[in-house]
């Protein structure tokens, strides 16, 4: 071309041999290199587990530690006999959900819900505005479902329903209906909220829109998942979420939570802990095996150095890690020579859902992968390249699952859950856990690598909807506790 640029002309019907693609051999060589850096040996996993356990213990001793181990003021397990009608509002990483939950006892419940998608602007803008939107959605839901005289639950004038607010971000709590946002995670960023009591900010929005509810509990999604899973299956001991973000919760003995000693809570009581384990190894980066792609993800994120564990595991980042590897191979002139690569060079253009799709492509020709690359990125691929992409997705997905196993193992080991013959059930939720092929199996394999055969006694299962049902059960437990005069100010 006159400008000195080269122009590659290709069409969909053009035979792939016409483009200068990498050979099968080259792709295999590259794969070996990535295998080395993304693979975690059992020994390394045991070391990570040990360091993780120490971080969990430290978090229980003192406030403000890297893994914050947040006391939730959810006292002990549900009885299974909780009953009543509760509203639940769920503000997660992607959606906003309003639920009406009828908790019926004996592990039964019914739920009616509406979902709203959050826009990117809403995630970054003024926090009060975001909460105003939540209050408006709640108001609309109530108007549509609870004010008609023929609705199953008819709200009388002046009556207020208890609300459980599931806010899936780290909040330091001094009592159950309060929480100071420590930091946004999962790419959220409304600047004026960190360091403030989100329950208070939300109450202002509720007042502004005159929403007939009382905010009775502010909960984390993992705490909700823990309680909902236990309500349905009392063998559940831990809850984990592997979605846009990742986290875990479990039930701790108050006597082990040194940092709340001054509250004089009866030491034989138990309290759920929201670990916020996504923060493990933040700042110091001493324990986790970070590749240069992970370091780029971190440095280019809106919270560099923070959420170190989450950045290797959660759905928000896995697609980006794979994309960075592809971009490196584009720069090294290995991939997509002569093709226009601008679409794949956009940060976060490669969704984590593509990794799931690539891994589950059932065809020999890997037609799904052809589709992803041609449809979303206007790129032609050869079979050898597609096999490489799939293998790379597997390495990144497998590493995420094996690191997740280290986190679970740390809690199990700390609590001595393998010291009895009983199975240790782990309620798990989130898009990666639910949709990524083989994610659960890889966690289980990882647990056997860490603990040997007895690791088989730790079994993850798809959890009940923690943010809806769990939140409602916690609202019910809180009401019962306060009515009984048990720590009414907490």
Active-site amino acid positions: 168, 183, 221
Which member of 71, 224, 245, 455 binds ligand BGC (CB under 6 A)? 245
List phi, psi (to 5°) of 215.
Answer: -75, 100
CA distance 86 to 313: 33
Q: Does 170 bind ligand BGC (CB under 6 A)?
A: yes
Question: Quick one: which segment of 12-20, 139-147, 243-251, 344-352 binds ligand BGC (CB under 6 A)?
Answer: 243-251
The smaller minimum CB distance to ligand BGC, of residues 222 and 282, is found at: 222
Number of residue whose CB is nearest ligand BGC: 245
Pick the closer one to ligand BGC by CB: 91 or 366. Answer: 91
Hey, which residues does 84 pair with through a beta bridge? Answer: 103
Q: Pick the binder of ligand BGC from 72, 168, 236, 352 (CB under 6 A).
A: 168
Shortest gap between Cβ of 27 and ligand BGC (angstroms)? 34
- Distance between terminal CA atoms of the chain? 73
Q: Which two tokens stand for residue 296?
A: 């780029």
Considering only residues 72, 247, 339, 404, which one is a binding residue for ligand BGC as defined by CB under 6 A? 247
Q: Does 225 bind ligand BGC (CB under 6 A)?
A: no
By CB under 6 A, the count of residues binding ligand BGC is 17
Distance (Å, whole) CA 390 – CA 27: 12
How far is residue 365's CA from residue 291's CA, in Å, rounded to a whole number? 30
Which one of residues 72, 166, 173, 222 is an interface residue with ligand BGC (CB under 6 A)?
222
- The distance of Cα 451 from the centroid of its chain, to the nearest Å, equals 25
Other CB atoms within 10 A of residue 418 CB: 18
Rounded to whole angstroms, the Cα distance separating 103 from 118 reads 28
| Distances 181 to 135, 173, 216, 294 between C-alpha atoms, Å | 19, 9, 17, 26
In the bound state with ligand BGC, the residue whose beta carbon lies nearer, of 247 and 404, is 247
Strand order in the sheet with 270-274: 70-75, 270-274, 246-253, 236-242, 424-429, 458-462
- Is 246 or 265 the residue whose CB approaches ligand BGC more closely? 246
| Polymer length in residues for the chain | 490
Min separation Cβ 362 and ligand BGC, Å: 30
Tell me the torsion sign for CA atoms 194, 197, 202, 208: negative
DSSP string, 342-359: TTTTSTT-S-HHHHHHHH
Smallest distance, Å, CB 186 to ligand BGC? Answer: 5
Tokens (6 digits) for 222: 């993992």
Name residues contacting ligand BGC, limited to 269-298 (CB under 6 A). Answer: 276, 278
Rounded least distance, CB 245 to ligand BGC, Å: 2
Give the x/- contact pattern for ligand BGC in 87-106, rule: CB under 6 A.
-----x--------------
* Candidates 119-127, 165-173, 394-402, 475-483; binding stretch for ligand BGC (CB under 6 A): 165-173
For the beta carbon of residue 320, count every other beta carbon within 10 angstroms.
21
**The one segment of 95-103, 117-125, 166-174, 407-415 that binds ligand BGC by CB under 6 A:** 166-174
Q: Among residues 310, 385, 449, 464, which is the contact residue for ligand BGC, using CB under 6 A?
A: 310
Residues 182-221 that bind ligand BGC (CB under 6 A): 185-186, 220-221
Binding site for ligand BGC (CB under 6 A): 92, 168-170, 185-186, 220-222, 241, 243, 245-247, 276, 278, 310
């Amino acid at each position: 071309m006159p400008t000195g640029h080269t122009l590659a002309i290709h069409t969909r019907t053009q035979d792939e041999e016409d483009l200068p693609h990498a050979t099968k051999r080259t792709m295999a060589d590259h794969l070996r290199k990535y295998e080395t850096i993304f693979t975690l040996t059992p020994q390394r996993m045991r070391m990570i587990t040990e360091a993780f356990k120490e971080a969990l213990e430290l978090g229980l001793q003192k406030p403000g530690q890297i893994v914050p181990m947040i006391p939730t003021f959810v006292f002990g397990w549900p009885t299974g006999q909780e009953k009543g009608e509760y509203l639940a509002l769920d503000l997660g990483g992607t959606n906003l959900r309003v639920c009406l939950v009828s908790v019926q006892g004996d592990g039964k419940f019914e739920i009616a819900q509406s979902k709203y998608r959050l826009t990117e602007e809403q995630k970054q803008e003024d926090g009060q505005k975001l909460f105003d939107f939540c209050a408006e959605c709640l108001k609309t839901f109530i108007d549509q479902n609870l004010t008609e005289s023929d609705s199953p639950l008819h709200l009388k004038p002046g009556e207020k329903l208890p609300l459980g607010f599931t806010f899936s971000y780290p909040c330091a709590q001094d009592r159950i209906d309060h929480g100071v946002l420590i930091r946004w995670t999962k790419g959220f960023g409304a600047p004026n909220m960190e360091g403030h009591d989100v329950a208070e900010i939300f109450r202002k929005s509720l007042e502004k829109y005159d929403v007939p509810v009382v905010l009775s509990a502010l909960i984390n999604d993992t705490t909700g998942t823990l309680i909902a899973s236990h309500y349905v299956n009392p063998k559940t001991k831990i809850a984990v979420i592997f979605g846009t973000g990742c986290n875990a919760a479990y039930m701790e003995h108050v006597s082990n939570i040194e940092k709340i000693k001054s509250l004089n809570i009866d030491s034989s009581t138990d309290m759920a802990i929201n670990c916020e384990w996504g923060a493990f190894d933040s700042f110091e980066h001493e324990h986790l095996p970070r590749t240069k792609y992970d370091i780029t993800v971190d440095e280019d994120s809106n919270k560099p150095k923070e959420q170190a564990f989450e950045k290797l595991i959660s759905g928000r980042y896995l697609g980006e890690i794979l994309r960075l590897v592809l971009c490196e191979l584009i720069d090294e002139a290995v991939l997509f020579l002569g093709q226009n690569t601008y679409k794949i060079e956009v940060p976060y253009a490669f969704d984590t859902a593509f990794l799931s799709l690539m891994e589950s492509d059932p065809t020999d020709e890997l037609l799904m992968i052809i589709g992803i690359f041609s449809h979303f990125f206007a790129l032609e691929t050869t079979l050898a390249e597609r096999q490489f992409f799939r293998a790379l997705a597997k390495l990144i997905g497998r590493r995420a699952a094996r690191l997740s196993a280290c986190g679970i193992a740390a809690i199990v080991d700390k609590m001595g859950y393998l010291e009895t013959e009983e199975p240790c059930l782990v309620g798990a939720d989130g898009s990666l856990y639910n949709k990524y092929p083989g994610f659960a199996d890889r966690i289980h394999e990882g647990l056997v690598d860490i603990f040997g055969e007895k690791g088989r006694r730790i079994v993850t299962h798809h959890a009940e909807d923690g943010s809806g049902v769990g939140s409602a059960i916690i609202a019910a437990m809180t009401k019962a506790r306060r009515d009984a005069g048990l720590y009414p100010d907490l």
